[in-house]
Structure 1
Amino acid sequence: MTGTVRDAALPEFPGTRAEKCPFDPPPELQALQQDGPLTRVRLWDGSTPWLVTTHAEQKALLSHPKVSADVTRPGYPIQGPRTGGGGLSFILMDDPEHARLRRMVQGAFTVRRTESLRPAVQRIVDKLIDELLAGPKPVDLVEAFALPVPSLVICELLGVPYTDHDFFQDNSKTIIKRNVTAEDRTAAFGRLFAYLDGLVGDKLAAPGDDLLSQLAARVAAGDLTRAEASQMGVLLLIAGHETTANMIALGTLALLRNPGQLAVLRESEDPKLVAGAVEELLRYLNITHSGRRRVAMEDIEIAGQVIRAGEGLIMPNDIGNRDPSVFADPDGLDIERDARRHVAFGFGVHQCLGQPLARLELQVVYGTLYRRIPTLALAADPDRIPFKHDGQVYGVYELPVTW
């Protein structure tokens, strides 16, 4: 099995990023990668799952039929004490139930469907930039721009009133923090679940042209329970704004710290270069920094090692995306490289459902913000920017900028 607290000599996971290198994975991860693709680490509860540090082995295990994403299986390397009030729907399930529930919403996130949203996303981005330019400065880019962009988009897509954004953003922040109590996380999930359940009820009574109404129709047809629909709504609402908001702010900071790269992006009108810059920033930054977690259902032999049934697996995409055998000069930011092989969205059947929408939003933001505000600059000491070291989603709490 996965070990006990007697394995105290093993490195602890997750590690801590170096204060002077906030865009890089923790130094101990980089050292472990040099030692080989698999090693044992120790978690908060004393368990000792396998840490997978190389790109090829991560992809192989994320797509392996004998590897489970089911958080309820013995040996699954959970991130903290288990909480009540439900989980995050199908992302922590295996097929066929995972596939059944995912099919209920995947039509809204196809490349073709999301591409049709580009004009609407462009209007949102332009309007928020207009407000930035007309308002006072300096300004916190997180609150004034990075958070509203994806929140407005996911609210429109789901059919959630944006006027409630303070409520769902505050509860989302509680759920994704590492250091909150199990009771506080459970309470926050319960509040969001009740909120989405109420909206599903509203859509059952008066459906609209939105994703929650589509889920409500599935409930009416007997394909979903109301609880399943509400839980899926919680997942989509949290994932739909938190991850992209942090990428917008963190990506902007990374570009401001790399002015040569920013100049290339700002001065280009080539949509392919913008799309490539998005892929490189996704590779370089990796805001989901707690590792994708799995458990072996049967014995698996890989990279000269045997992973036994019931042993946990952690695959940190931040170090997988810095694998020098795949990406030359992996610790450098190069928006003109081909970074499409990154694993920022995972791999296999559980890869991120919303990745086409995230890509679209980031392409519009990165292709618009710096051209419209070409003198955008930090309005604070870079060493005093507060990073989200305590979050399951990495980013910055605030980003003061001026122009």
Structure 2
Amino acid sequence: MAAETRRLQAFPMSRAASCPFDPPPALRALQVASPLTRVRLWDDSIAWLVTRHAEQRKLLADPRLSADASHPHYPHRGPAQKELLAGERSFIVMDDPEHARMRRMLTAAFAIKRVETLRPAIQRIADRLIDDMLAGPPPLDLVTAFALPLPSSVICELLGVPYGDHEFFQANSRILLNNATTPQQARSARERLTDYLDGLLGQRLADPRGDLLSDLARHVNDGELTRHAAAVMASLLLVAGHETTANMIALGTLALLQHPEQVEALRATDDPALIAAAVEELLRYLSIVQSGRRRVALQDIPIAGQTIRAGEGVILATEAANRDASVFADPDRLDVHRDARGHMAFGFGVHQCLGQPLARVELQVALGTLFRRIPTLRPAVGLDGIPFKHDSLVYGVYELPVGW
């Protein structure tokens, strides 16, 4: 390894055990020092790390920065991800116009007005899960009892996937998101999920229903998608549709329980605007995508006194941007009354998260209902007894024992 590379800070960095909700201290130090810093990755390649809010928004809106993971200098987060992207790529790691063409096939299903029609059904799922929790003796694990089944049930209903198969797709999702997964394990998990969704697509090709798999089957019949591309797209929706929200529900609950005055504000209100504001603040405060949004420069890009050269990798650290003091006053304080709508938790620009309207409704229903129906909810163990997901692409907790 060259001496210059050895001197660079390795990315990603580790969080402080005493502050599990905060970004890594080394990441915050780089943010204070400069908006852009060169860092060393797992394979000893070098990429630009972008830590401040303004520069991230500017770059994510710049068409000279590519999301194409097939680019030879794309800064992969590890060997397993590189292996996964060697096959047919998902539209989220494509550039326009192909990215836009495929994304348009899904936008109607995740439009705000469409998602709002799902709120009563999501509320029924939340109430049923809490009924089951209250029927059994505490303590219990909030992840398996509530945080994971709620979004899993919703995305299964939306896609047309049998919820009875949840253990299968949840187990394979965990493999795909774990940083320690080997390329072979990643390839096998991807194939299992894709084959599973392909089988369901085959059913919809023969017998369409009113679900997203049937919509994808129609695009296959119309020649707009290959059947394999439709299965890859469905797999992405299934994994992202339950993992991210499940982690936000559990981690958000735990973070709130560390701040009794914030919980009391939620318990004491029937104002949906305050619940919505609390969700936005938790999205900002927690920033669960913890290895950055990754891009590669197609042309030279001058920014913040530096020049990102064509072919250089770029990593945009969302968790740092969401704690940028120039945008959010006292950024390390959790405040459900804050206007946090400028956060970057869902990204920015053409690749911002397609499912964010659904995630928002699920989080509003889940957190609003949980604290209203179980006002004495409390952790059953201390923070040092909770297994945090330091080893995953999506941050959260593996278990959250709670009582009441």
Check whether the contact 2:274–2:337 (CA below 8 A) recurs between aligned residues: yes
Q: What is the aligned partner in structure 2 of residue 230 from structure 1?
A: 231
- Measured on the aligned residues, the alpha-carbon RMSD in Å equals 1.1
Q: What is the aligned partner in structure 1 of residue 52 from structure 2?
A: 54
Q: Secondary structure at the match of 2:339?
A: coil
Q: Over residues 179-234 of structure 1, what are the superposed CA-to-partner deviations in whole Å (9 max), with x where a residue is unaligned? A: 11111011000100000000100110111110000100111111111011100000
- For the residues of structure 1 that align with 2:383 and 2:33, how far apart are their CA atoms? 33
Q: What is the aligned partner in structure 2 of residue 246 from structure 1?
A: 247
Q: Over residues 20-54 of structure 1, what are the superposed CA-to-partner deviations in whole Å (9 max), with x where a residue is unaligned? A: 00000000010000001001000000111000010
- For the residues of structure 1 that align with 2:343 and 2:3, how far apart are their CA atoms? 34
Q: What is the aligned partner in structure 1 of residue 21 from structure 2?
A: 23
The code of the aligned residue for 2:301 comes to I
Q: What is the aligned partner in structure 1 of residue 187 from structure 2?
A: 186
- For the residues of structure 1 that align with 2:11 and 2:363, how far apart are their CA atoms? 30
Determine whether 1:281 maps to 2:282.
Answer: yes
Q: What is the aligned partner in structure 2 of residue 67 from structure 1?
A: 65
Check whether the contact 2:293–2:318 (CA below 8 A) recurs between aligned residues: yes
Deviation, structure 1 residue 87: 5.4
Q: Secondary structure at the match of 1:41?
A: strand
The code of the aligned residue for 2:216 comes to L
Deviation, structure 1 residue 266: 1.3
Q: Secondary structure at the match of 2:127?
A: helix
- For the residues of structure 2 that align with 1:197 and 1:68, how far apart are their CA atoms? 29
Q: Over residues 372-399 of structure 1, what are the superposed CA-to-partner deviations in whole Å (9 max), with x where a residue is unaligned? A: 0000011112211100000001000000
- For the residues of structure 2 that align with 1:31 and 1:372, how far apart are their CA atoms? 41
The code of the aligned residue for 2:265 comes to V
Give the number of equivalent residue pairs. Answer: 401
- For the residues of structure 1 that align with 2:184 and 2:239, how far apart are their CA atoms? 19
Query: Which residue of 10, 13, 32 corresponds with 2:11?
Result: 13
Check whether the contact 2:371–2:377 (CA below 8 A) recurs between aligned residues: yes
Q: Secondary structure at the match of 1:313?
A: strand
Q: Over residues 126-173 of structure 1, what are the superposed CA-to-partner deviations in whole Å (9 max), with x where a residue is unaligned? A: 010111001121000000100000000000000000000000000000
Q: What is the aligned partner in structure 1 of residue 197 from structure 2?
A: 196
Q: What is the aligned partner in structure 2 of residue 372 from structure 1?
A: 373
Check whether the contact 2:66–2:95 (CA below 8 A) recurs between aligned residues: yes
Q: What is the aligned partner in structure 1 of residue 83 from structure 2?
A: 83
1:322-337 matches, cutoff 5 A: 322-337=323-338
1:3-402 matches, cutoff 5 A: 6-81=4-79, 82-84=82-84, 86=87, 89-402=90-403
Check whether the contact 2:249–2:366 (CA below 8 A) recurs between aligned residues: yes
Identity across matched positions, percent: 64
- For the residues of structure 1 that align with 2:145 and 2:59, how far apart are their CA atoms? 40
Q: Secondary structure at the match of 2:83?
A: coil
- For the residues of structure 1 that align with 2:321 and 2:72, how far apart are their CA atoms? 26
Taking a change above 3 Å as real, the CA distance of residues 386 and 131 of structure 1, as seen in their structure-2 partners, is same
Q: After the TM superposition, list the runs of 4 or more consecutive aligned residues in structure 1 that deviate by more than 4 angstroms.
A: 3-6
- For the residues of structure 1 that align with 2:225 and 2:75, how far apart are their CA atoms? 29
The code of the aligned residue for 1:280 comes to E
Check whether the contact 2:288–2:395 (CA below 8 A) recurs between aligned residues: yes
Q: Secondary structure at the match of 2:330?
A: coil
Q: Secondary structure at the match of 1:61?
A: helix
- For the residues of structure 1 that align with 2:113 and 2:12, how far apart are their CA atoms? 37
Check whether the contact 1:89–1:235 (CA below 8 A) recurs between aligned residues: yes
Check whether the contact 2:88–2:229 (CA below 8 A) recurs between aligned residues: no
Check whether the contact 1:57–1:303 (CA below 8 A) recurs between aligned residues: yes
The code of the aligned residue for 2:250 comes to A
Q: Secondary structure at the match of 1:301?
A: strand
Identify which range, 10-19 or 374-383, moves more after superposition: 374-383
Q: Secondary structure at the match of 1:49?
A: strand
Q: Over residues 58-103 of structure 1, what are the superposed CA-to-partner deviations in whole Å (9 max), with x where a residue is unaligned? A: 0100110100000111221011122157355100000010001101
Q: Over residues 290-328 of structure 1, what are the superposed CA-to-partner deviations in whole Å (9 max), with x where a residue is unaligned? A: 100001000010111111000110001000000000000
Q: Over residues 2-28 of structure 1, what are the superposed CA-to-partner deviations in whole Å (9 max), with x where a residue is unaligned? A: x96851111010000000000000000
Q: Secondary structure at the match of 1:7?
A: helix
Q: Over residues 320-360 of structure 1, what are the superposed CA-to-partner deviations in whole Å (9 max), with x where a residue is unaligned? A: 00000000000010010000000000000000000000000
Check whether the contact 1:88–1:234 (CA below 8 A) recurs between aligned residues: no
Check whether the contact 1:5–1:46 (CA below 8 A) recurs between aligned residues: no
The two structures have a TM-score, normalised by structure 1, of 0.98
The code of the aligned residue for 2:227 comes to R
Check whether the contact 2:251–2:397 (CA below 8 A) recurs between aligned residues: yes
The code of the aligned residue for 1:236 comes to L
The code of the aligned residue for 2:83 comes to T
Check whether the contact 2:156–2:162 (CA below 8 A) recurs between aligned residues: yes
- For the residues of structure 1 that align with 2:207 and 2:304, how far apart are their CA atoms? 55
Taking a change above 3 Å as real, the CA distance of residues 253 and 5 of structure 1, as seen in their structure-2 partners, is farther
The code of the aligned residue for 2:5 comes to D
Check whether the contact 1:293–1:314 (CA below 8 A) recurs between aligned residues: yes
